[in-house]
Amino acid sequence: MKTNSTKLILILVFLAVLTGCGKIKEFNNDAPSGREIGIALFKCNCAPLVQETVQDAFIDEFFTNTNSKPIKGENGYITIQGKISIEEGHTASSSGLLLGSSSGIGGGSSGSSATGVYVTGITIQAYKNGELIATHSIGQNLGNGKLVAPVSLAKKAANYISTVLVRQNEIGRK
């Protein structure tokens, strides 16, 4: 029994060290401030407003949380490009009875649903001197009954990419 406890403690310590290394690397960052990050208009067969919203969410993330200088377009020390995928569909909805209606006891329950065109995913690539240095994909499945706004998906994706670039010492945190 004591051997299993010792092994478990060693594994937990090992995992803590591995997961903590990325955070520690962010503190040891000496990337100069003001590096321009060109954020292109993401490709999409959708309304231009959706493309601009995703681009603006990336600009907001980089401006707010890094020491870089985000700019619109494809000219920068690092360039962020991507694609937005859209689909038409509806969220899952549910309804049911508690304790059955024939007994006269209990009640009903129902869920809500959304229908229409929505962003299913965003893919991102970060390039430096034409070379891919970071990539990420994020998406949503309406089967879980929740619809996430394009801004929310874009902010999560931008946060992930900015964290990767900080850990690579390309940019720094504020």
Residue range 78-97, pLDDT digits in tens? 999 999 999 887 766 555 44
pLDDT digits over 59-84, tens only? 999 999 999 999 999 999 999 999 99
Of 5-14, 59-68, 84-93, 125-134, least confident by mean pLDDT is 5-14
State the pLDDT at residue 164: 97
User: Residue 10's pLDDT band (boundaries 50, 70, 90)?
Assistant: low
Averaged pLDDT of the chain? 81
Give the Cα separation of 161 and 167 in Å (integer).
10
pLDDT digits over 155-169, tens only? 999 999 999 999 999
State the pLDDT at residue 115: 72
State the pLDDT at residue 107: 43
State the pLDDT at residue 23: 47
Give the Cα separation of 55 and 59 in Å (integer).
6
User: Residue 148's pLDDT band (boundaries 50, 70, 90)?
Assistant: confident
DSSP 34: T
State the pLDDT at residue 127: 98
State the pLDDT at residue 166: 96
Beta bridge partners of 132: 127
Instruction: Assess whether pLDDT exceeds 70 at residue 113.
Output: no
Half-sphere exposure of 1 (CA within 13 A, CB side): 0
Mean pLDDT of the 16-28 span: 52
Nearest residue to 37 via CA among 74, 65, 89: 74
C-beta of residue 91 within 8 angstroms of C-beta of residue 126: no
pTM listed for this prediction = 0.73
